[in-house]
Structure 1
């Protein structure tokens, strides 16, 4: 077990890609697909709260501190309603920015009489708290300094347990674009960021394949690969008022991720997640470029 953990960690931290691109807070990368997965501890209580903080290295070495709180409510043995609030603090070449992010509200459904089934379904929405146009001293900021994409999204997915493999699949589709970002690189005092004036983002499809492991009765480990396919080219409005597609903004991203969970007494647990990209897209104007993501969380239930 120690060798497995060490190899996984070495694999993650050996990735040294400049401007690499990994999954972050677009949405469904961090959502809970199954209320209580096999191999991940005892059944959750009726109520559960998770608080989480993450450290991210974004484009042009922008540091992003993410904050989140999530409340889960079990409804019988087949439904769980989850609501997650996010916020972020960004620090980099433009200065420091902080704002609320999004609300993710999802319903998880486990067919059958209980949660021993190998299939669970998820559906929900993402609601932004900002229009993605925060500024510092009147200067328009690129998307990496925004705490939300400014879109109202539909999220749908499913989770499968096949033998010892844990498989998640999902789509996230922007339904309403309320993004009012006004950043144009031609007018920027700082180079290195893509134009995202009145930015429009396409949908994503996700596939995560994990292999959960246990160590004693307290520790669980889930090394996994997370693939994301961006289903079209994003676009922005140029200085002439014409919409331009962004070359290389569509395509495939593959991330390596290790999730660790430690079970505590009285329905409490600690979580740690480390992720880094292996395969990247040529362009990611949405500001979700990450070369490293480390998150830690604390959960308690009653």
Structure 2
């Protein structure tokens, strides 16, 4: 059984298919909202865990997003823990490439209720930008109007450029997990100045205009719901679930006069179905694989968060 499980996991990891994870700004893997949480009758948040995660996502256009993340969780006491995620992101597409540290996320999670049947946990945290979301690429200057570096669309950016507040809660039992979260940008410091006319030399003007403008974009706020069903087989956990994310306030960008206006089509639901497989070598070491598929997306995505598909592989050490 162990050999079969390992073969299954590594076969999926190298297979040339990518699937949707979550088209959001990162809060679906924070604290109480993170997937594949294990129910125990007696929670001890004093345990520490280090997860090394490799993520690959194909956007709805040409850019492919790769993210390597160190995800560290350590207990403050038996009821409360602290999580910090440190990502390094590199993006490659038809217009060029970028690489840099991604936005740093942090969260405090507390167990607010525990019983023989279920646990309830709550999370409060945030995200810190690592740049202003206006990275440029110098390798393809022949595409630009004056052969100089020009700002790339948000699809290529390694940071959203905003300071966000995140909150959420989850209910977990042996078979089910239900989670709810909200993410609100509180400091809108994004300065992206990608403009169509700056890329006049590109051989396909129609392709350039497939990227939504995000001139100094003010991102809207999101809510998410995670529903997950677990199936346990000795050392192997298999989980299937759904992840709807709803943007309830419109994104805004600056027009040529320097005034902000709200964008139609930026609110609505992005819906994914997800599959997670985890093999636990022992109580301290686990290997996790995530696969999913996008079913619905918002019509307009100036922040570049939409994904056609993603895949991730992670190794977890608890100590």
Residue 134 of structure 2 corresponds to: 133
Q: CA RMSD, aligned part only?
A: 2.7
Shift of 1:21: 8.0
Q: Which has the larger radius of gyration?
A: 2
Using a 3 Å threshold, how does the CA distance of structure 1 residues 94 and 125 change in structure 2: closer, same or farther? same
CA distance in 2, matches of 1:293, 1:252: 18
1:120-158 CA-partner distances (Å, limit 9, x unpaired): 101101111111010012211000100111111110000
1:9 match: none
| Contact 1:276 1:290 (8 Å CA) reproduced | no
For 1:128-277, what aligned pairs fall within 5 Å after superposition? Answer: 128-137=129-138, 138-161=149-172, 164-189=175-200, 190=202, 191=208, 192-216=210-234, 218-265=235-282, 267-277=284-294
> In the alignment, is the contact (CA less than 8 A) between 1:185 and 1:194 conserved in 2?
no
Shift of residue 66, structure 1, vs aligned partner: 1.0
Gaps in structure 1 of 5+ consecutive residues: 7-12
**What is the deviation of 1:45?**
6.5
TM-aligned CA distance change 1:148 to 1:107, over 3 Å: same
Q: Quote the Cα distance in structure 2 between the aligned partners of 1:168 and 1:185.
A: 40
Gaps of 5+ in 2: 9-14, 139-148, 203-207
Distance across 2 between alignment mates of 1:155 and 1:52: 21
Please name the residue that 2:205 is paired with: none
Q: Deviations over 1:69-90 (max 9, x none)?
A: 1111112221111111112110
TM-score (norm 2): 0.82
Distance in 1 (CA, whole Å) between partners of 2:240 and 2:44 is 22
Relative distance call for 1:115 and 1:264 in structure 2 (3 A) is farther
TM-score, normalisation: structure 1: 0.86
Distance of 1:121 and 1:210 partners within structure 2? 17
Whether 1:301 and 2:302 are equivalent positions in the alignment is: no
Question: Alpha carbons of 1:285 and 1:203: their partners in 2 closer, same or farther (altered >3 Å)?
Answer: same
Equivalent residue, structure 2, for 1:10: none
Residue 78 of structure 1 is matched in structure 2 by 79
In structure 1, what is the Cα distance between the partners aligned to 2:50 and 2:258? Answer: 46
C-alpha distance in 1 between matches for 2:101 and 2:116:
34
Separation in 2, partners of 1:255, 1:75: 33
